[in-house]
Amino acid sequence: MRIPKRFQGIMFVLPALFVLAMLVFYPIVYTVVLSVTDPAGNYVGLENFRSMIDARLTARAFWNTLIYVGFSIIFQVLIGTAVGILLNNEFWGRGAVRALIVVPWVIPGIVAATTWAWMFHTEFGIINYMAQSAHVIDQPVGWLTNPDTVLPALITVNVWKMFPFVAIMVLAGLQAIPNDLYEAARIDGARKHHEILYVTLPHLRPVLMSITLLLAIWGLNAITIIYAMTKGGPANRSLITPIQIFRHAFEFFRFNEAAALSVMFFGATALLMTLYIRIYAEKD
């Protein structure tokens, strides 16, 4: 028996779609159902949403999420782009350097988190020791226990872990820029920084756009580093929305409220996704 030609394509695609539907779309629908019911399954309207919105923690977590993801992206893209441009130069050992710098990105997030937690240790951490030796600070700083330093410290770890991804993508984008463009610019008397400003960066724009959105989505997803280093503390100063959802569900066992928060969180990220799909479709 031969399958009619117009059904062949869908037959290949169907198993993967089925699995994703069961694992992704069914849970999404189920979240919505959970969010408007109580633990006994009775319909309660928007009660769960109201109690989550009224909780002061929700606003705090939302704000923390914005700061954490926003500043992470800014530094990831800036440093990653600079490193990508740097690695596009020809120098001895370039292949090895390119391979090495990607290692922070491929190791488990939990390893990055614990290693940096040890480096940030207040009494015995190497960072306090080096900063004191260099007279940057005169007292040991409790990087992860001080409410004012905890988010910057976590952002540092996140940037360290993710900038290699940006660098590799930017490097790939750079190598797609035809060489004649640089030559033409040089003939017109352009200096190195002119080349970067007027040839390199404009060509990188589409790559940078899609990287930024990917980073935003991954950043909104990233629980591991914060959960392992501070669990959201001190005094909820590093609590981000994904961790709030996690704690509501698995520490307080309030699944319905956690589901309401998930729906709101999903709504916010859906906006980003639409944007991404738009850009993706344009390139097609």
Considering only residues 41 through 80, tell me which ones interact with other proteins, judged by CB under 8 A. none
Place of tokens 């640089």: 182
For other proteins, which stretch binds (CB under 8 A), given 54-62, 110-118, 147-155, 178-186?
A: 110-118
Of 187-226, binders to other proteins (CB under 8 A) are 192, 207, 210-211, 214, 217, 220-221, 223-224
What are 181's two structure tokens?
Answer: 């463009």
Is residue 234 a contact point for other proteins (CB under 8 A)?
no
Contact residue for other proteins among 40, 99, 187, 271 (CB under 8 A): 99
**3-state DSSP assignment of residue 6:** helix
Q: What is the DSSP string of 28-83?
A: HHHHHHHHTB-TT--B-TTHHHHHHHHSHHHHHHHHHHHHHHHHHHHHHHHHHHHH
Judged by CB under 8 A, the stretch of 38-46, 67-75, 89-97, 142-150 that binds other proteins is 89-97
The verdict on 137 binding other proteins (CB under 8 A) reads: no
CA angle 82, 85, 86 (to 5 degrees): 85
For the bound state, the minimum distance from the C-beta of residue 268 to other proteins, rounded and expressed in Å, comes to 9
Q: Which of 170, 256, 167, 262 is nearest to 221 (CA)?
A: 262
Decide: is 19 part of the binding site for other proteins (CB under 8 A). yes
Q: How far is the CB of 176 from other proteins (least distance, A)?
A: 7
Question: Which residue in the set 80, 84, 142, 173 belongs to the binding site for other proteins (CB under 8 A)?
Answer: 173
**Residue 108 binds other proteins (CB under 8 A):** yes
Pure H helices in the chain: 5-20, 26-35, 47-54, 56-87, 94-101, 103-106, 109-119, 126-133, 150-175, 179-187, 192-195, 201-221, 224-229, 241-250, 255-283
- Round to whole Å and give the CA distance between 183 and 179: 6
Cis amide bond preceding 206, omega within 30: no
**Which residue in the set 54, 123, 138, 180 belongs to the binding site for other proteins (CB under 8 A)?**
123
Stretch that binds other proteins, among 41-49, 68-76, 120-128, 182-190 (CB under 8 A): 120-128
Q: Is 31 in the site for other proteins (CB under 8 A)?
A: yes
- Could you tell me how many residues of this chain bind other proteins (CB under 8 A)? 95
Indicate the residue among 181 and 228 with the shorter CB distance to other proteins. 228
Contacts with 92 (C-beta within 8 Å, 6 or more apart), sequence order: none
Position 124 contacts other proteins (CB under 8 A): yes
- Whichever of 65 and 237 has its CB closer to other proteins, that residue is 65
